[in-house]
Amino acid sequence: MEVIQSFTIDHTHLKPGIYVSRQDRGFTTFDLRITEPNKEPAVAPAAMHSIEHLMATWMRNSDVKDDVVYVGPMGCLTGMYVVMTGDYTVQDMRELTISCLEWILDQTEVPATTPETCGNYLLHDLPMCQWECRRYMERLRNDFHCEYTALEVTLADGRVFADA
Ligand SMILES: [Zn+2]
Protein backbone atom coordinates (compact mmCIF):
# COMPACT_ATOMS: atom_id res chain seq x y z
CA MET A 1 0.00 0.00 0.00
CA GLU A 2 1.41 3.37 -0.96
CA VAL A 3 1.49 6.26 1.37
CA ILE A 4 -0.85 9.11 0.63
CA GLN A 5 1.16 12.02 -0.70
CA SER A 6 -0.22 14.60 1.70
CA PHE A 7 0.95 12.59 4.69
CA THR A 8 4.53 13.27 3.58
CA ILE A 9 4.43 16.91 4.59
CA ASP A 10 5.52 18.05 7.99
CA HIS A 11 2.37 19.44 9.64
CA THR A 12 4.36 20.86 12.53
CA HIS A 13 5.96 23.40 10.22
CA LEU A 14 2.92 24.20 8.10
CA LYS A 15 1.87 27.85 8.12
CA PRO A 16 -1.45 29.16 6.81
CA GLY A 17 -1.15 29.74 3.07
CA ILE A 18 -1.74 27.92 -0.21
CA TYR A 19 0.16 24.81 -1.26
CA VAL A 20 0.12 22.32 -4.10
CA SER A 21 -0.96 19.11 -2.38
CA ARG A 22 -0.65 16.92 -5.46
CA GLN A 23 -0.67 17.00 -9.26
CA ASP A 24 -1.79 14.07 -11.31
CA ARG A 25 -3.77 13.22 -14.47
CA GLY A 26 -4.22 16.91 -15.30
CA PHE A 27 -5.64 17.77 -11.89
CA THR A 28 -4.00 19.97 -9.28
CA THR A 29 -5.14 19.66 -5.67
CA PHE A 30 -4.55 22.93 -3.82
CA ASP A 31 -4.22 22.94 -0.04
CA LEU A 32 -5.83 26.17 1.18
CA ARG A 33 -4.48 26.08 4.72
CA ILE A 34 -6.54 28.40 6.94
CA THR A 35 -5.12 27.73 10.41
CA GLU A 36 -1.76 26.55 11.66
CA PRO A 37 -2.11 22.80 12.33
CA ASN A 38 -1.74 21.65 15.94
CA LYS A 39 -0.80 25.16 17.10
CA GLU A 40 -3.97 27.20 16.59
CA PRO A 41 -7.54 26.07 17.18
CA ALA A 42 -8.89 24.41 14.05
CA VAL A 43 -11.89 25.99 12.33
CA ALA A 44 -15.11 25.10 14.17
CA PRO A 45 -17.24 22.56 12.24
CA ALA A 46 -20.16 24.95 11.67
CA ALA A 47 -17.87 27.74 10.44
CA MET A 48 -16.02 25.34 8.14
CA HIS A 49 -19.32 24.09 6.73
CA SER A 50 -20.30 27.69 5.91
CA ILE A 51 -16.89 28.31 4.33
CA GLU A 52 -17.50 25.26 2.15
CA HIS A 53 -20.93 26.48 0.96
CA LEU A 54 -19.69 30.01 0.30
CA MET A 55 -16.36 29.12 -1.28
CA ALA A 56 -17.91 26.48 -3.54
CA THR A 57 -20.63 28.93 -4.59
CA TRP A 58 -18.10 31.62 -5.48
CA MET A 59 -15.67 29.27 -7.24
CA ARG A 60 -18.45 27.70 -9.29
CA ASN A 61 -19.71 31.12 -10.43
CA SER A 62 -16.30 32.68 -11.06
CA ASP A 63 -14.34 33.21 -14.28
CA VAL A 64 -12.58 29.90 -13.63
CA LYS A 65 -15.73 27.90 -12.88
CA ASP A 66 -15.18 25.48 -15.76
CA ASP A 67 -11.84 24.46 -14.26
CA VAL A 68 -13.14 23.89 -10.72
CA VAL A 69 -13.44 20.16 -10.08
CA TYR A 70 -13.96 20.04 -6.34
CA VAL A 71 -14.12 22.33 -3.29
CA GLY A 72 -14.28 20.71 0.15
CA PRO A 73 -13.04 20.87 3.72
CA MET A 74 -10.18 18.88 5.20
CA GLY A 75 -11.15 16.38 7.86
CA CYS A 76 -8.69 18.01 10.27
CA LEU A 77 -10.63 21.31 9.89
CA THR A 78 -7.52 23.36 9.26
CA GLY A 79 -8.17 24.10 5.60
CA MET A 80 -9.96 23.47 2.31
CA TYR A 81 -9.04 21.44 -0.73
CA VAL A 82 -9.69 22.90 -4.16
CA VAL A 83 -9.10 20.61 -7.13
CA MET A 84 -8.56 22.36 -10.48
CA THR A 85 -7.96 21.34 -14.06
CA GLY A 86 -5.72 23.51 -16.23
CA ASP A 87 -2.56 25.36 -15.34
CA TYR A 88 -2.89 27.23 -12.09
CA THR A 89 -0.07 28.27 -9.80
CA VAL A 90 -0.25 29.01 -6.10
CA GLN A 91 -0.03 32.69 -7.00
CA ASP A 92 -3.08 32.32 -9.30
CA MET A 93 -4.91 30.58 -6.48
CA ARG A 94 -3.79 33.25 -4.02
CA GLU A 95 -5.46 35.96 -6.14
CA LEU A 96 -8.56 33.87 -6.74
CA THR A 97 -8.90 32.99 -3.07
CA ILE A 98 -8.49 36.61 -1.93
CA SER A 99 -11.29 37.62 -4.34
CA CYS A 100 -13.41 34.77 -3.00
CA LEU A 101 -12.77 35.75 0.62
CA GLU A 102 -13.62 39.40 -0.11
CA TRP A 103 -16.96 38.20 -1.48
CA ILE A 104 -17.59 35.96 1.53
CA LEU A 105 -17.03 38.92 3.85
CA ASP A 106 -19.80 40.81 2.04
CA GLN A 107 -22.38 38.07 2.40
CA THR A 108 -25.30 38.29 4.81
CA GLU A 109 -26.40 34.69 4.50
CA VAL A 110 -25.03 31.24 3.67
CA PRO A 111 -26.43 29.82 0.43
CA ALA A 112 -28.24 26.47 0.26
CA THR A 113 -29.10 26.04 3.93
CA THR A 114 -32.42 24.25 3.69
CA PRO A 115 -33.18 20.60 4.42
CA GLU A 116 -33.55 20.07 0.67
CA THR A 117 -30.14 21.52 -0.27
CA CYS A 118 -27.81 20.54 2.61
CA GLY A 119 -27.18 17.40 4.60
CA ASN A 120 -26.87 19.24 7.92
CA TYR A 121 -28.53 22.58 7.28
CA LEU A 122 -28.50 23.73 10.92
CA LEU A 123 -24.71 23.33 11.16
CA HIS A 124 -23.74 26.81 9.94
CA ASP A 125 -22.11 29.83 11.52
CA LEU A 126 -21.70 32.84 9.24
CA PRO A 127 -20.12 35.23 11.80
CA MET A 128 -17.40 32.73 12.75
CA CYS A 129 -16.93 31.79 9.08
CA GLN A 130 -16.34 35.46 8.27
CA TRP A 131 -13.95 35.84 11.22
CA GLU A 132 -11.85 32.98 9.88
CA CYS A 133 -12.05 34.28 6.31
CA ARG A 134 -10.96 37.79 7.33
CA ARG A 135 -7.91 36.48 9.16
CA TYR A 136 -7.04 34.10 6.31
CA MET A 137 -7.38 36.91 3.75
CA GLU A 138 -5.01 39.12 5.73
CA ARG A 139 -2.53 36.26 5.94
CA LEU A 140 -2.71 35.60 2.20
CA ARG A 141 -2.03 39.28 1.58
CA ASN A 142 0.67 39.95 4.16
CA ASP A 143 2.22 36.67 5.32
CA PHE A 144 1.98 34.23 2.43
CA HIS A 145 3.36 30.72 2.65
CA CYS A 146 3.38 28.25 -0.23
CA GLU A 147 6.24 25.76 0.26
CA TYR A 148 5.82 22.55 2.16
CA THR A 149 8.44 21.17 4.49
CA ALA A 150 8.83 17.55 3.50
CA LEU A 151 8.54 14.77 6.05
CA GLU A 152 9.34 11.13 5.52
CA VAL A 153 8.21 8.65 8.08
CA THR A 154 8.85 4.99 7.42
CA LEU A 155 6.45 2.69 9.25
CA ALA A 156 7.47 -0.58 10.90
CA ASP A 157 6.25 -2.60 7.90
CA GLY A 158 8.29 -0.52 5.49
CA ARG A 159 5.48 1.63 4.19
CA VAL A 160 6.21 5.32 3.94
CA PHE A 161 3.77 7.57 5.65
CA ALA A 162 3.31 10.77 3.91
CA ASP A 163 -1.60 13.68 4.89
CA ALA A 164 -4.04 13.71 2.14
ZN1 LIG B 1 -24.06 21.67 3.57
- Tens digit of each residue's pLDDT (9 = 90 or more) over 89-103: 999 999 999 999 999
Residue 67 falls inside a structural domain: yes
**Which of 12-16, 47-51, 52-56, 105-109 is predicted least confidently?**
12-16
Ligand 1 geometric centre to CA of 132 (Å): 18
* Å from CA of 136 to ligand 1 middle: 21
Q: Look at residue 14 and tell me if it is in a domain.
A: yes
Q: Which of 62, 80, 79 is nearest to 71 (CA)?
A: 80
Question: Would you call 54 exposed, middle or buried from its count of C-beta atoms within 10 A (0-12, 13-18, 19+)?
Answer: buried
In a domain, 164, yes or no: no
Residue percentage of the chain with pLDDT more than 70: 90
Ligand 1: centre distance to CA 81 (Å): 16
Give the Å distance between the CA of 71 and the centre of ligand 1.
12
Q: Residue 140 carries which DSSP code?
A: H
pLDDT value for 9: 76
Q: Does residue 110 sit within a domain? A: yes
Task: State which residues form the domain around 95.
Answer: 5-159
pLDDT at residue 13 greater than cutoff 70: yes
Q: Which pLDDT value is given to residue 1? A: 61
Q: 164: pLDDT confidence band, cut at 50, 70 and 90?
A: very low
In angstroms, what is the span from residue 74 Cα to ligand 1's centroid?
A: 14
Residue 39, classified by CB atoms within 10 Å of its CB into exposed (0-12), middle (13-18) or buried (19+), is exposed
> Structural domain tally of the chain?
1
CA of 75 to the centre of ligand 1 (A): 15
Predicted TM-score of the model (pTM): 0.88
Distance 98 CA to ligand 1 centre (A): 22
